[in-house]
Amino acid sequence: MGLVLTEEQTLLKETASQFFQEKLPVANLRKLRDEKNADGFERSTWKEMADLGFAGVLVPESYGGTEFGPVGLGIILEQAGRTIASTPLLSTVLLGTTAVQLGGSQTQRQDILPAIAAGETIMALAVEEGPHHNPTQIATTATADGDNFKLSGSKTFVIDGHIADTLIVVARTSGEVNDSNGLTLFLVNTSGTDGLEITRTIMADSRNAANVTLKDVSVPASAVLGGVDGGWDVLEPVLDAGRIGVSAELMGLIQEAFDQTLVYLKERTQFGEPIGSFQALQHRAAEMFAELEVCRSVVLDALSALEERRNDVPSLASLAKARLSEASKHITNECLQMHGGVGMTDEYDVGLFMKRARVAAATFGNAGFHRDRYAGLDGF
Amino acid sequence: MDALEQFRADTRAWLEENCPPSMRTPMPEDESPWGGKRAVWKNPESKQWLDAMASKGWTAPQWPSEYGGGGLSKEENKVLQQELRRIKARPALMSFGIWMLGPALLEFANEEQKKEHLPKIVRGEIRWCQGYSEPGAGSDLAGLQTKCEDKGDHYLVNGQKIWTSYADKADWIFALVRTDTNVKHDGISFLLIDMEQDGVEARPITMISGASPFCETFFTDATAPKGNLVGELNKGWTIAKRLLQHEREMISGMGMGSGGGGTGLADLAKDYVGQAGGKISDATVRDSVARQKMDSHAFGLTLQRTTEEAKAGQGTGAASSIFKYYGTELNKRRNELIIELMGTQGLGWEGDSFSEAELSAPRSWLRSKGNSIEGGTTEVQLNVISKRVLGLPS
Ligand SMILES: Cc1cc2nc3c(=O)[nH]c(=O)nc-3n(C[C@H](O)[C@H](O)[C@H](O)COP(=O)(O)OP(=O)(O)OC[C@H]3O[C@@H](n4cnc5c(N)ncnc54)[C@H](O)[C@@H]3O)c2cc1C
Ligand SMILES: Cc1cc2nc3c(=O)[nH]c(=O)nc-3n(C[C@H](O)[C@H](O)[C@H](O)COP(=O)(O)OP(=O)(O)OC[C@H]3O[C@@H](n4cnc5c(N)ncnc54)[C@H](O)[C@@H]3O)c2cc1C
């Protein structure tokens, strides 16, 4: 059980913290947004991150990775959350690596893992088909066509979809919509593939997502990741890793929003007093603090469950995602309210935190989805 | 086998031999082993179990053995607690002496006082109650007025306490008294008073749950020898605060430690609300149960994290400031949920149409309301967090 960081992890936290504060502060996201940057992230900084070993945290050393493990990645994601940094950490480093590690053939691993570690390839998971997370409701089809498969369907909210070199497409090779059996994962090259259309969607949080349509996209059988019809065995643990990763990012986000608000409460005066001296605000701040402490325990345990490959990963992923989704809504709302009028302005960061929090809360299942799942896993 | 494993094996064997069978069953409230001079042992095996445990000092496992304690290390105590849980042993002794007074005496009392009082606490011979609150001094505890005068060879005490839990059953009271009326915090002393004297009277107060475990306690020319003053004269506030920490830990740990606070809710819901396909049939009820269980789980992990941080020497204590507030609010919600799940069967007061468990549900629910008042209210905890931990201005 690792609810306490080791010395090495504490060091990583400091490195990551410094990196995001200096290289990818909130101002960076504003800049990408304001200049309508087509990529929605900075390639040069991504390269620097790869050089620091951040891209290869889950990649084994034999494939050129740094192997800091899930707790290490969680630490980096938390720091990224503090500055709402736009990076492919989630799409590529967490989801991409996990999927290839779990389902990849020897060749696929050899092809992809070193490239991820080097920051040379970007991956994206194309799973959702509707406005709510529902990973079994897959209508996209993949039909065998000689040695190939033909993929047709459409995907939405594909994180980093428009900058990805490779998509992991979840398609149905058999079974009914809503069935977790009969799903298959395909690695789809985004350049020079006929019938594939990817459009970036501009989201409230100014972070990267895209819509993808596939019209008779032909891929070779070697593009199957994991087993045909057995995609769920890879997809579910990948999603759980994603849920825990998003929770770690949200942890950093709510901590930062809270810290900034605390500073504001001490500085802003009204009625001749700092507003932080009013009990109506003090009690709410204390409640937020309690919530943050509880969230931190949940995220740490979820990350260590992942690292130790414990069999309670699914229920901890749901616990973490439900809790952080709800806490991030509560805390960003409160932080904005406590900023008064200036909280409504674009100039203050608190609005950006709130927007990112809502998108993150919807990513891979909101609080309701995960309470339902937790209950099911617990047998009631 | 390393020493700790040897200790486990010995403990297991000893418990096997010394824990009577009826002490491995759930404990009805009227068999709670509070000890004291006037203890009534409805089940004689409770007394036997207490004596056995006290002979090893295991009613206070980590206190030094010179004062009757078990002298165990933290690790050994953990093993002991695990072994007790394993056989579902009842507590051998429930005691404010062990939970609150003892730790304060160990820290602040002189040698004579420790030798006099600690062993009796360990053996459950003397039952203690806590005389802190007064009608005008609850949250603002330091506003207390109970007067204590120096009469040369003894102290003379006059005044009134309130909410004194189990005062009518207690033998001694540890009380905060005013020894200087000119200053607030620096005029308070910590005094041990024998209640077996004419000048002390405890009158029970009936609570909303129908029970009356709390009293008003009156002191009319009550006396205490000078050797009963703990610490220095007028320096009782420091002791009082430390003791409150122990009290808060006790309250927040009760019934909801380690995330176990969600146990049984789902089954209760299935029984009283219904089930369909293995799920609780009502979606909103199912959601409420999931919420409660997840909150308990999350809180349990937080207790665990704080312990681990302390062990790793990284503890800042910040997280523990939330326990009293969070734990008691959680426990209140749990009790609200239970009576809701039981429906009207959880709202009965007496009679044959309700089972014993059903009749205890509304009483537990009502009792739980006191969790966020006793030992410092939720509001006062939030004040402490916002000022001491978050550094918000006054
Ligand atoms: C959308 C919008 C439109 C507006 N339109 C106009 C307009 O047309 N004309 C105009 O003149 N103004 C306008 N305002 C300004 C508005 O009236 C002020 O924002 C509002 O009065 C709050 O003041 P403040 O922003 O300075 O917040 P502050 O007073 O700094 O408050 C900050 C936080 O502290 C809390 N707080 C402050 N004092 C206390 C206290 N004593 N006890 C407890 N909590 C306290 C507040 O509730 C808030 O949460 C507008 C504001 C907004 C957001
Ligand atoms: C079940 C139970 C057992 C108890 N056992 C004992 C015992 O054994 N011995 C003993 O000495 N005492 C005992 N108490 C008393 C307990 O410590 C007091 O009730 C408690 O400290 C609150 O004081 P009060 O009841 O005077 O409430 P008050 O202090 O009058 O508070 C009334 C309300 O005002 C709020 N309030 C007060 N001050 C502030 C503030 N500064 N900011 C915001 N809100 C505030 C409170 O939170 C509360 O909601 C017990 C109480 C209960 C309920």
Confidence of residue A172 (pLDDT cuts 50, 70, 90): very high
Nearest CA distance, A246 vs chain B (angstrom) = 17
Whole-number Å distance between alpha carbons of B148 and B299 = 43
Confidence of residue A281 (pLDDT cuts 50, 70, 90): very high
- Under an 8 A CB cutoff, do A277 and B393 touch? yes
* pLDDT for the residue B316: 73
Is the pLDDT reported for residue B248 higher than 70? yes
**Contacts for B304 with CB less than 8 Å, ≥ 6 apart:** A1, A3, A297, B258
- Under an 8 A CB cutoff, do A1 and B304 touch? yes
Q: Are A24 and A3 in contact (CB under 8 A)?
A: no
Nearest atom in ligand 1 to the alpha carbon of residue A338 is 49
Q: Are B306 and B299 in contact (CB under 8 A)?
A: no
* Contact list, A281 vs chain B (CB under 8 Å): 392
B13-48 pLDDT, tens per residue? 999 999 999 999 999 888 999 999 999 999 999 999
A209-225 pLDDT, tens per residue? 999 999 999 999 999 99
* Contact list, B267 vs chain A (CB under 8 Å): 380
Whole-number Å distance between alpha carbons of B212 and B122 = 26
- Under an 8 A CB cutoff, do B394 and A279 touch? no
B355-394 pLDDT, tens per residue? 999 999 999 999 999 999 999 999 999 999 999 999 999 9
* pLDDT for the residue B362: 96
pLDDT above 90 as % of chain A: 98
Which residue has the least CA distance to atom 40 on ligand 1? A278
Of A1, A279, A294, the CB nearest to B298: A294
Residue B242 tokens, joined:
């430390």
Whole-number Å distance between alpha carbons of A226 and A104 = 6
A44-65 pLDDT, tens per residue? 999 999 999 999 999 999 999 9
Whole-number Å distance between alpha carbons of B331 and B326 = 9
Is the pLDDT reported for residue B262 higher than 80? no
How far is residue B182 CA from its own chain's centroid? 33
In this prediction, residues A127-137 reach a mean pLDDT of: 97
Nearest CA distance, B243 vs chain A (angstrom) = 23
Q: What pTM value is reported for the model? A: 0.93
B315-358 pLDDT, tens per residue? 777 888 899 999 999 999 999 999 999 999 999 999 999 999 99
Is the pLDDT reported for residue B282 higher than 60? yes
Largest pairwise CA distance in chain B: 77
B127-165 pLDDT, tens per residue? 999 999 999 999 999 999 999 999 999 999 999 999 999
Phi and psi for B95 in degrees, rounded to 5?
A: -165, 125
- Under an 8 A CB cutoff, do B326 and A274 touch? no
Q: How far is the CA of B377 from the centre of ligand 2 (A)?
A: 6
Nearest atom in ligand 2 to the alpha carbon of residue B378 is 47
Q: In B254-371, which residue ranges form alpha helices assigned H by DSSP?
A: 265-272, 283-311, 323-342, 356-368
Q: Which of B288, B296, B305 to mutate to test the interface with A (most CBs of A within 10 A)?
A: B305
Whole-number Å distance between alpha carbons of A292 and A305 = 20
Give the up-direction half-sphere exposure of residue B344: CA atoms within 13 A in the CB hemisphere.
Answer: 1
